[in-house]
Structure 1
Amino acid sequence: MSSPSEIFECRWQASRLLLAAYLTIQALALASLFLSAIPLWGSLLSAALCASHAFWVLPRQIVLSHPAAFRGLRTTSDGFQLWNARDGWQPVQLRPDSLALPVVVILRFRLDGERRVRGACIPRDALARDIHRRLRVRLKFSRRRWAAAG
């Protein structure tokens, strides 16, 4: 592994695979609502909840067009930081339930000074193949990956 003082930085883009998966799941949810034997008002209310979820999630987590969407990660000797257009680089504490798989990296993190745990999904098509591999290696073998933000 490289020296702990080496800085690693990556920035990802929106993933077509993640968008296709999300839209497929939304379509299946809506189809199941209207094919089920629940009252029409229940189906309409549930469809409105699905639409509001899509309205919130698509720009922030999938398409990454919202200023608060996290689109970059770097690690320095001080720990991990995430980047968004609104706030720039922010120190984070990665959580032990983060996953680094060949197909997808799921970051679970807590921003400095917050109690709420957030997540970011980085599919393999959101980064270049070698950068995605380096990110997975960095997350799996970093000595300070669970250290508090600072």
Structure 2
Amino acid sequence: MSSPSDRFECRWQGSKTLLALYLACLALAMVALGLLAIPLFFIIPGLALCLGHACWVIPRHILLTHPHAITGLRRDASGWQLWSDARGWHAVQMRPDSVALPGLVILRFRRAGQWFARSQCIGHDALEPVQHRRLRLRLKFSRKRWAAAR
């Protein structure tokens, strides 16, 4: 019998599909603000918040052009690690509410020393199809996948 390897690594790029979905939702939110029967001094800050959110989210979580954007995941004997250009490889604990669907993977993780969890969406067009499948399988069937980082 063969023993399964504990080593796994993948890196992804920005997703054009996620960008299109985000921009569609942003446009709907802005149209909804415009159609509301509320005073203009509520609409303008709402639009500013929508645009500010887009300026924050698009480079960090969708196009992955910001130095702190998470662009890689690996698993080895020391546990799960994420890659960002600013921090390099850093240990994380994967959360049990991570989702692995055929078209989308949502990584839920907690960094060492932090109390709250973070997320990273990986669309089907951000990875090669074989890599995307391997990532989904690794998240579903990896041994000790929810163990704390060492």
Tell whether the 8 Å contact from 1:109 to 1:118 is kept in structure 2 after alignment. yes
Q: Provide the C-alpha distance between the structure 2 equivalents of 1:3 and 1:53, rounded to a whole number of angstroms.
A: 46
Q: Deviations over 1:37-78 (max 9, x none)?
A: 111111111001101111111111011111000000001122
* Counterpart position of 2:44: 44
Q: After the TM superposition, which parts of structure 1 deviate over 6 Å for at least 4 consecutive aligned residues?
A: none
Q: Provide the C-alpha distance between the structure 1 equivalents of 2:50 and 2:140, rounded to a whole number of angstroms.
A: 35
Q: Deviations over 1:124-149 (max 9, x none)?
A: 10000000000000000011110001
Q: Provide the C-alpha distance between the structure 2 equivalents of 1:115 and 1:90, rounded to a whole number of angstroms.
A: 16
Tell whether the 8 Å contact from 1:4 to 1:77 is kept in structure 2 after alignment. no
* Counterpart position of 2:74: 74
Q: Provide the C-alpha distance between the structure 1 equivalents of 2:71 and 2:31, rounded to a whole number of angstroms.
A: 32
User: Aligned-pair RMSD on alpha carbons?
Assistant: 1.1
Structure 1: any 5+ residue segments left out of the alignment? none
| TM norm structure 2 | 0.96
* Counterpart position of 2:10: 10
Matched letter for residue 118 of structure 2: R
Structure 2: any 5+ residue segments left out of the alignment? none
| TM norm structure 1 | 0.96
Q: Is it true that 1:143 corresponds to 2:143 in the alignment?
A: yes
% identical equivalent positions: 58
